[in-house]
Every structure is written in structure tokens, then in C-alpha cells.
Amino acid sequence: MPAEFMDAKTTAKYLNLSISWVYRDAPALGLVPYKFGRGRNAKIQFKVSEVTAWVRQQKLQ
């Protein structure tokens, strides 16, 4: 079964951007994070299908 979510580190590597960019700027640019857990143990992850769709939208004309 393929992974449905990827963590912030994997997302940053996929996008070839820094992890801090993923946490700080991605939500403001339309890349929606999902939070699993509470407090310090919370994990931020991104849906693979949404990341790939977001990448396609960034294409220059």
C-alpha cells in the first residue's frame, strides 16, 4: 500500500527546499499540513496527492 502522507523532512526533500520553509511558508502558499498527535509529540505531515497537485500548480506559463 503506497504511503498517503509524508513528513515535513520528506516533503522538503521532495520539493528540494528547506525544512524551515516547509513549516513556515508552505501553509501560506496553499500547501496544507495535517497535524497528528498533541503537544511536543505532534507530527506535521502532508498528503502526497496534495503535494504533487500543488507542484503541478506552480508550473510557469
Return averaged pLDDT per consecutive 10 residues of the chain, 61 residues in all: 86 96 93 92 94 91 76
Global confidence as pTM: 0.84
* pLDDT value for 29: 92
Q: How many domains does the chain have?
A: 1
Strands 33-36 and 5-7: unpaired
Give CA angle at 5 (51, 58), nearest 5°. Answer: 5
Structural domain of 9: 5-57
Q: Say how far apart CA 15 and CA 34 lie, in whole Å.
A: 17
pLDDT score of 1: 54
User: For position 60, what pLDDT does the model report?
Assistant: 82
pLDDT value of residue 59: 84
